Amino acid sequence: SQQGEEDPQALSIQEGENATMNCSYKTSINNLQWYRQNSGRGLVHLILIRSNEREKHSGRLRVTLDTSKKSSSLLITASRAADTASYFCATVDRGSTLGRLYFGRGTQLTVWP
């Protein structure tokens, strides 16, 4: 089953602008992960934030996590045309013994040169 919603469903920006995507989830989590998927391809792991963390950075990526609101955001700064892809958040439930990963609906990001 899916975990939650991503917002917006689609985002279109110019190169150089920042892109912000939001994700909400429903359960208590162990961690939340963001993935990127180019059209018709597999997923690439971008960043993982644990439930006891509030913010994490990796290069041009910044992820925040608010467990009280059950939400996360992914910020891509100084976007490039090559960032065009679908972005998904995914969660592992707290106490999960199988480590199952459940995905949100995703945000389709288009960056125009």
Partner 1 sequence: GAVVSQHPSWVICKSGTSVKIECRSLDFQATTMFWYRQFPKQSLMLMATSNEGSKATYEQGVEKDKFLINHASLTLSTLTVTSAHPEDSSFYICSLMPRHWGSNYGYTFGSGTRLTVV
Binding site residues, partner 1, CB under 8 A: 1-2, 30, 33, 35, 40-48, 50, 88, 92, 98-106, 108
Which amino acid is residue 6, in one-letter code?
E
- Least separation in angstroms between residue 72's CB and partner 1 is 15
- Least separation in angstroms between residue 21's CB and partner 1 is 13
Comparison of 16 and 97: residue with beta carbon closer to partner 1: 97
Comparison of 50 and 54: residue with beta carbon closer to partner 1: 50
Cis peptide before 8 (omega within 30 of 0): yes
- Least separation in angstroms between residue 38's CB and partner 1 is 10
Comparison of 2 and 14: residue with beta carbon closer to partner 1: 2
Comparison of 59 and 98: residue with beta carbon closer to partner 1: 98
